[in-house]
Amino acid sequence: ELYTALVDLKEVLHTESILINSLDQYIQAEQKKVELLQKYLEIYKHQHAEASEDVETYIANPINAYLLIKRLTTDWQHVETLMNMHMGHDYLKNVSMYREYMKFPTDEDLNGAAVALTRLQDTYNLDTAALARGELNGIKYSSELSAADCFELGRQSYNNGDFYHTQLWMREADARLKLETNKTVEKSDILEYLAFSTYKQGNLPLALDLTNKLLDIFPAHPRALGNKGFYEEELQKLNELRIKGDDESEDIPVNNEMMPQAQYPERELYEQLCRGEVKTDIAITSQLKCYYANNNNPFLLIAPFKVEEAYPSPKILIFHDVMSDNEIETVKSMAKPRFKRATVQNYKTGELETAQYRISKSAWLKDKEHKHIDDVCRRVRDMTGLTVETAEELQVVNYGIGGHYEPHFDFARKEETNAFKSLGTGNRIATVLFYMSDVPQGGATVFPNINAAIWPKKGTAAFWFNLHPSGEGDFNTRHAACPVLAGSKWVSNKWIHEQGQEFLRPCGLEQAPPELTA
């Protein structure tokens, strides 16, 4: 899939430039052909008009007679050959030859990108009309969507059985169509989708009304006629029920404005955190400090770490300027060719699989592959005071349009079929999350249990312990990567494991992790 990471979309732009070239050359060739045919036509018309003026005299002239015959033999053959020339084939053949080497998005990509847009719409409460104008939260980023573009978004939602977004986008398509001088889509097509999704959303009267509008345009539309009959019968049944029932029976249920139900309990809060609407309690934030730390490492005395506390318990620390632009470039360029769609572990089977709730591309880098990776890894050791001997390789992640990772734990819970078991290094005791890009809008890391949000800043890293000192998982470390609204989000993770930390982070039953040396 190409939609899952922004890096791949760059290559799609290259593909597009090749397509533009092919189309341009093809049109030029067609134009030459049409110009030639035009010339023939003019000669035909001119000669024919002359002949028609005085037929007898014209054909009595041997030269004219010869020319007439020539026009209808070799000349016409020429015309026929030209008319039969389908140059499109050649240019398409060219394109399909390139297809192997070019990155071409698939229908699955289109669907993924459409779903991502609707996800952004929901998470960030985006107004459909503003989105269609190319605006994200009042900032205009891109070109506007045509009625046909909106229609396609509605159609994709429809194919996914998402009738809520089908309605939103079909209505927008209709609104846009009214503004278009060159219509990009048929009103009747919009009405057909709109009517059926309205019915699916439970608004029968409106579905019938829309179907009648469609029948005004196409009185013999077979599907519309069928649906009209069906809706009328259903309405009739509802009315009968109402008459039979007592006076308290309400109106026909209308839930066409309803958003799909929250898929999980903390969704509401998660989305509010992503929008920046919910902030950490002031009583908590007022206790937080910023400080310089050298973590007892004499080498760091000259340039100690700039540490900011983001949350007291679980302690979440933010380290500023811990990855240089140079290192970031190395990490990105090494990861790019290895990118694969990020997977999640099926907690029952233990298998790795792709899922809608984690959309990004990722790759793993070994410390020994490059000095910069090794430096970053050693810095993790210096930052945390923990051993990185048993840590996982550096995981590099790039999020594409609407890319996200819904609330999860980094550690393995007891009931999970634990993939870390095979590593033999224990559970993921701590997480270091490097932000390798700024993100203009969206893309925060949020902790719904504790109302905390970290906004990406290039070069900084977040650090927290996933496990209590006792080794139990800390459920308050549940966190998520909010969908990216604008820009490209790059992060990398270093997951530190339990083994080897025995003397570095003494285990115990106390909940509070030991303080880092300030």
What is the separation of C-alpha 387 from the centre of its chain, rounded to a whole number of angstroms? 37
Which residue has the closest beta carbon to Fe ion?
A: 410
A 10 A CB-CB count for 290 gives 10
- Say if residue 53 is exposed, middle or buried (CB neighbours under 10 Å; 0-12, 13-18, 19+): exposed
Residue nearer to ligand AKG on the CB measure, 218 or 357: 357
From the list 289, 299, 320, 276, the residue with the least C-alpha distance to 463 is 320
Partner that binds at residue 3, options Fe ion, ligand AKG, none, CB closer than 5 to 8 Å by kind: none
Report the amino acid identity of residue 467. Answer: L
Question: Smallest gap, in angstroms, from Cβ of residue 305 to Fe ion?
Answer: 22
Partner that binds at residue 493, options ligand AKG, Fe ion, none, CB closer than 5 to 8 Å by kind: ligand AKG
Question: Smallest gap, in angstroms, from Cβ of residue 466 to Fe ion?
Answer: 9
Partner that binds at residue 120, options ligand AKG, Fe ion, none, CB closer than 5 to 8 Å by kind: none
Q: Which helix (H) or strand (E) holds 352?
A: strand 352-353
Tokens 């990020």 sit at which residue?
342
Contact 456, 399 (CB under 8 A): no
Residue nearer to ligand AKG on the CB measure, 201 or 492: 492
A 10 A CB-CB count for 242 gives 14
Residue nearer to ligand AKG on the CB measure, 256 or 345: 345
Partner that binds at residue 173, options Fe ion, ligand AKG, none, CB closer than 5 to 8 Å by kind: none
A 10 A CB-CB count for 138 gives 7
Partner that binds at residue 390, options ligand AKG, Fe ion, none, CB closer than 5 to 8 Å by kind: none
Partner that binds at residue 148, options ligand AKG, Fe ion, none, CB closer than 5 to 8 Å by kind: none
Measured CA to CA in angstroms, residue 4 lies from 88, 356, 482, 511 at distances of 33, 10, 14, 38
Question: Smallest gap, in angstroms, from Cβ of residue 410 to Fe ion?
Answer: 4
List phi, psi (to 5°) of 502.
-50, -40
Contact 487, 443 (CB under 8 A): yes
SS3 166: helix
Partner that binds at residue 481, options ligand AKG, Fe ion, none, CB closer than 5 to 8 Å by kind: ligand AKG
Question: Smallest gap, in angstroms, from Cβ of residue 320 to ligand AKG?
Answer: 17
Question: Smallest gap, in angstroms, from Cβ of residue 444 to ligand AKG?
Answer: 7
Residue nearer to Fe ion on the CB measure, 228 or 358: 358
Report the amino acid identity of residue 308. Answer: E
CA 85, 91, 92, 93 dihedral sign is positive
Partner that binds at residue 192, options ligand AKG, Fe ion, none, CB closer than 5 to 8 Å by kind: none
Residues that bind Fe ion (CB under 5 A): 410
Task: Give the DSSP per-residue string, 203-251.
Answer: -HHHHHHHHHHHHHH-TT-HHHHHHHHHHHHHHHHHHHHHHHS-TT--S
Residue nearer to ligand AKG on the CB measure, 190 or 397: 397
Residue nearer to ligand AKG on the CB measure, 150 or 386: 386
Residue nearer to Fe ion on the CB measure, 327 or 410: 410
Question: Smallest gap, in angstroms, from Cβ of residue 323 to ligand AKG?
Answer: 14
> Token pair of 158, please?
């429809």
Residues that bind ligand AKG (CB under 6 A): 397, 405, 410, 433, 445, 479, 481, 491, 493
- Strand pairing class (344-345; 352-353): antiparallel
Question: Smallest gap, in angstroms, from Cβ of residue 374 to ligand AKG?
Answer: 22
Residue nearer to ligand AKG on the CB measure, 15 or 437: 437
Question: Smallest gap, in angstroms, from Cβ of residue 430 to Fe ion?
Answer: 12
